[in-house]
Structure 1
Amino acid sequence: MHSDDNSTDLAMWVVRLSIDDQKERLKAEKEFFIWRQHHVDEAIKIDEMLEFSKQLQTLSKKHVLNANTVQHCFTAHSDAVKQIKKNWGKLAGIGVFAIGSYLTVQMIPYQYYFAEIKTPIGEKKTLRLEDGSFLTLAPDSAVNFTFDQKKRHIELVQGEIMIEVAKDTKRPLIVSSLHADFRAMGTRFIVQQNQQRSRLTLLHSKVLVQTTENPKFKKIISEGQQVDVSLNGITAVKNINPITIENNLNKNQFVAEDIPLSELLEQLEHFHRVYFIYNKKQLADLRVNAVISMQQSPQTILTLITMQYPELRIDQLGSKFILLRLAKNYS
């Protein structure tokens, strides 16, 4: 079977097994029970995709939307559905909303869309702020600013930034993430965040960390140190080489030191217009140690990882979707 036709068949099963119409869904489940007995490998892929679909339905609705935002959402959703149809062939109209909604959130997150400064996937930007500080945004990153007579405040909406702070004794500079406030103490540092944690990397001088969960708790981090901040607090301090970190950042290289594979996949989505479908729990034991050029294609990088983990299976679904899973009964 041609790969594009196969991808379309898989997508059609996911749509039919996820529709709201109970009668149609029961009919699809009966047909799927018979079909999967003769298509074992394809059925495993569908099981993974259905698990992924369940995760989509639990996405939290955090943002209060005004009329303009709502209109934008409908436009983004329409574009997302068109992209699905282009990549996976002609899908039935029912059931597309769940997958399309995921793409709307992933491709055009609302907070990112309305941020003051943002970078697209695969591109970074350096700018000089009004106080003389230099700010570098990694690909797929966004920030908001509040600079007045009393303070300099940068909100990291998503992604990763490096800042070289201009001296101003009257106005402290604070970078806020989901998990902490980072107060500069005459310094150059990197802040990176995802939903699970924020990471501070000190390249020069010091930063005062104040956690969002417990504002009374504060900790000073010094040059050559790195910490993660989450709802569980601050991790133990890790020593890093500032020169190596900065050189890798300038070369678009990602240093993976015993990190979960899922963290690498998140980074790849900042550099490439690709979407990974996987069960995070299933891949939890797969960890990566490597210096990776993010300019390489995701397929090339994942092929190298399968040399370390031959039980990892990678399937391309259309041009932008990659399914990852572990082979069963692998020995």
Structure 2
Amino acid sequence: MRANDNWRLPSEEELEIAADWADRLPELTAAERRELESWLAGGPGRAAAFALMRDTRRDTALVEAAERVRAAPRAKRLPRLGLIAAGVALAAGLSGAFLVRPYLTATETPLELTTPLGQRAEHRLSDKSVVSLAADTGVFVRYSHGARDIDLKKGDAMFQVAKDKTRPFNVQAGDTTVTAVGTTFEVERVSDAVQVRVFDGVVRVNRDGAERSVSKGEWLMLVADRAPVQGRLDAESYQAWRSDWLDADAMPLKYVIARLNRYTAQSVSLHDPSLGDLKVTGRFKLDRPAESLTMLAALLDMRADPAGRRVYLTPKRSAKAEPKT
């Protein structure tokens, strides 16, 4: 019996994930290497897949075998992972019939990214796109052969999208979908609204079947049961976002509060929800919440009354004397 008679190729998903690990192996951080070790321990097929992908990168015979597949007529060529697998199979002496199955439907392992109150984070995805999360933000990432899908569960995130016309980059925020191919844009879920800001390129925004384009230097605000509002970004918007500044220009108070609450465990609230529509104009440093709250209360002639884990903003003019007992 030959040594490779019982040899079999690991699953599509194992090969897809292993190929990504092998590509990034020289640049892995200590934390990522621990993550790789944990993944490898999850099943025998994973170690085999990783060994194949790693050896394909450095073994001349395997590379040459893969190149023979690359030289085949166009109709018979396989995508990247299929090409690697084919080269591995040829070098291992497997039957050509084994190579018929292309790796077109493989998906990457879904990824959940979050930030706590008051902290930001930046993540580089497998396609080299970069996701920057503001404080108290959560996204769910799912990549497949045909699409790059992000679900913005809460908060505010900026996306620097690597260009790939074959795989649109879609960000879902409630009932709103923002689609890009290669651009830099921000999507935010704030109170009852979704806001999109585009810093480079153009995106398509779809809500309830109605689609519109938002180009570089523009913003779009979508609020339930209201017509969309679109405008121009301030020249300093990108840097302001990066440095936790909020520039409010007749911004509803409820939106200012929602953004401020991403930076403080003692959340700001209103006894009277109708006050949330008051318009606020000012510049607030969100990562200094106590300072920003003091400024906000002064601008609106309000008191900031602590009550346990909350701080209530109350108009001073509505204050009444406590009844005597």
State the TM bucket, normalised to the shorter chain.
Answer: 0.5 to 0.7
Q: Following superposition of structure 1 onto structure 2, how do residues 276-287 of structure 1 map, counting pairs within 5 Å?
A: 276-284=268-276, 286-287=278-279
- Residues 54-203 of structure 1 aligned to structure 2 (within 5 Å): 116-203=112-199
The C-alpha deviation readout for 1:80-116, integer Å capped at 9, x for no partner, is xxxxxxxxxxxxxxxxxxxxxxxxxxxxxxxxxx981
Deviation at 1:239, TM superposition (A): 0.7
- Following the alignment from structure 1 to structure 2, what is the Cα–Cα distance between the partners of residues 231 and 282? 17
Aligned residue number for residue 238 of structure 1: 231
TM-score by length of 2: 0.60
Structure 2 residues without counterparts, runs of 5 or longer: 1-109, 320-325
Instruction: Give how far 1:257 is off.
Output: 1.4
1:17-36, CA deviations, whole angstroms, 9 ceiling, x for partnerless residues?
xxxxxxxxxxxxxxxxxxxx
Q: Which amino acid aligns with 1:323?
A: Y
Separation in 2, partners of 1:195, 1:262? 7
- Inter-partner Cα distance in structure 2 for 1:198 and 1:272: 22
Does 1:303 find its partner at 2:294? yes
Instruction: Verify: 1:264 aligned to 2:256, yes or no.
Output: yes
- Write the deviation string for residues 151-183 of structure 1: whole angstroms up to 9, x where unpaired: 100000000000010011211110010131001
Bigger RCO (CA 8 Å, 6+ sep): 1
Q: Counterparts of 1:191 and 1:249 in 2: how far apart (Å)?
A: 12
- Per-residue CA deviation, residues 261-302 of structure 1 (Å, 9 max, x unaligned), is 22111111101111223134342453211121112233x223
Secondary structure (helix, strand or coil) at the match of 2:262 reads: helix
Please point out which of 222, 241, 252 is paired with 1:249: 241
CA RMSD after TM alignment: 2.0
Residue 329 of structure 1: CA displacement? 5.3
- Give the alignment partner of residue 293 of structure 1, picking from 282, 285, 299: 285
TM-score by length of 1: 0.59
Pairwise CA distance, 1:121: 0.5
Q: What are structure 1's unaligned runs of at least 5 residues?
A: 1-113
Opposite residue 153 of structure 2, the aligned amino acid is V
Hey, what's the Cα distance between the residues in 2 that align with 1:276 and 1:226?
26
Distance in 1 of aligned mates of 2:194 and 2:276: 20
Residue-pair matches, total? 210
CA distance in 2 between partners of 1:189 and 1:148 (Å): 21
